[in-house]
Amino acid sequence: MLLKLYSIIKLKIIGKDCRVAVYSIIFSFFLTLLIWPFMVTAGADTEPVDHRNKLFQTLREEMKFSDSELSRIKEGDLTTKLTNTDEKQELFLVSITRINVPESFFLEHYGKDISLLENLDVKNKGRITGPLELSELQDVKLDTKEIEALKDCQVGKCKLKVSSEMIDRFRNEIDWSESGYEDKVNRLFQEMLFEYIRAYLSGGNRNLITYYDQPQPISLDQLFNNILNKISYLLDHSPGLYKYLETFPVRKPDGVNSFVYWAKEDIGANYNVLTVNQVIKFVPKDSPLSPVIVSKQIYADHYFEAALGITKVVENTVAPDPSIYLVYFNRSSIDVLRRDGFLNGTIRRKIESRLVGSINERMKAIKDKIEVLYKVQVG
């Protein structure tokens, strides 16, 4: 009986944790691609540069792709690979596929003619492109069980990822004995989220949140800078963009625009998840450099500590027919992977297996749909 009970509990825990980690990384990928239709191809009048060789050099030297893996990618095979990290709570993934369409066609049509968020259960979302207004967050709502969980929230022990200041304000500004406290909680949460995003946009990384939901505080500023440093080689070709990410909001290079995007998502876990991301697009002007999109998670109320996604479209200039490589890198920190215990290794293996399968499925769908669209339009 005890063995049977253990097996049931183990399967439930592993299933929930797998969905949590996989959904975060997949959603980050599609989020970066939301703005491809609004980008232009850079360096159209400049001398062609073989970005493909630079890409494969990075894959070989930094991510330890073998010659056989690189050969399969060149031949058109979809490849998704997880690379070892030096932090047990982190996952680092790269996924790459060749798509047989011109770069200009991909940039024009992807996201406009193909659904980006298919199979993702987004309950609500919003996009902030101009000066932040509190009214833009009026649709950000906590679920009933999240509000109830806040009643017992304290520093070092809370079911929502919040700062110590947020915990104090929920305790001091909400009368939990009054009727209608749910609306007051949501208004207060919107106000605090508004103040936080505004402080980040004006003051940068030093104003990123420190989570106090667990006994050990987690500084998002430190996590983000650690992740950025570990994948700095992905931005070697655009040091201005790297410096901007490091020193945001100062040192903004030409060709950079950004917006903030929030979403409430049902990921099949105990709680729906609210995430807030800054999406930064870099389109180098009068330069042969490829466009780059960066997705930087600046808040999540459950499960996810930090995430940085980089998406590139690399033109295949050496092929006789037009084609591009769609490449997605993601490095994430996930709280469940910090746990010690006999289930930790099993959870990680399950997450990694499901993540690779899910990313492959979606990358293949992107490739198939955009190639079909191209064939239909060109005849």
Q: Are 309 and 295 in contact (CB under 8 A)?
A: yes
Q: Looking at residue 335, what is its pLDDT? A: 87
Question: How many domains does the chain divide into?
Answer: 1
Q: Looking at residue 237, what is its pLDDT? A: 77
Q: Which residues contact 370 (CB under 8 A, 6 or more apart)?
A: 99, 101, 105, 106, 109, 110, 114
Q: Which of 226, 27, 221 is nearest to 122 (CA)?
A: 27
Measured distance between the N- and C-terminal CA atoms of the chain, rounded to whole angstroms:
64
Q: How far apart are CA 279 and CA 330, in angstroms?
A: 14
Q: How far apart are CA 6 and CA 81, in angstroms?
A: 32
Tokens 């901007």 sit at which residue?
244
Q: How far apart are CA 284 and CA 291, in angstroms?
A: 7
Q: How crowded is the C-beta side of 54, counted as CA atoms within 13 Å?
A: 17
Q: Looking at residue 49, what is its pLDDT? A: 54
Q: Which of 73, 71, 52, 54 is nearest to 62 (CA)?
A: 54
| Residue 101 token pair | 């369409």
Q: Which of 284, 282, 292, 277 is nearest to 234 (CA)?
A: 292
Which three-class secondary structure state does DSSP give residue 198? Answer: helix
Residue numbers of the domain that contains 22? 2-378
Cis peptide before 249 (omega within 30 of 0): yes
DSSP symbol at 254: T
Q: Looking at residue 116, what is its pLDDT? A: 47
Q: How far apart are CA 227 and CA 85, in angstroms?
A: 10
Number of H helices, E strands in the chain: 10, 10
Distance of CA 173 to CAs 21, 169, 185, 194, 209, Å? 34, 5, 9, 17, 20
Q: How far apart are CA 163 and CA 213, in angstroms?
A: 8
Q: How far apart are CA 51 and CA 261, in angstroms?
A: 30
| Residue 68 token pair | 């056989």
Q: How far apart are CA 152 and CA 167, in angstroms?
A: 10
Residue 157: beta bridge partners?
154
| pLDDT tens for the chain, residues 1 to 379 | 433 333 333 444 455 555 655 656 665 665 565 555 545 444 444 444 567 888 899 899 988 899 999 999 998 999 999 988 888 889 999 999 999 999 888 878 776 665 444 445 677 888 888 889 999 999 999 999 999 999 999 999 999 999 999 999 999 999 999 999 999 999 999 999 999 999 999 999 999 999 999 999 999 999 999 999 999 988 887 888 999 999 999 999 988 989 999 999 877 678 888 999 999 988 777 666 677 889 999 999 998 899 999 988 888 988 889 999 999 999 999 888 887 766 667 777 887 887 788 888 888 988 998 999 999 988 6
Tokens 């009970």 sit at which residue?
5
Q: Which of 56, 82, 55, 58 is nearest to 68 (CA)?
A: 56
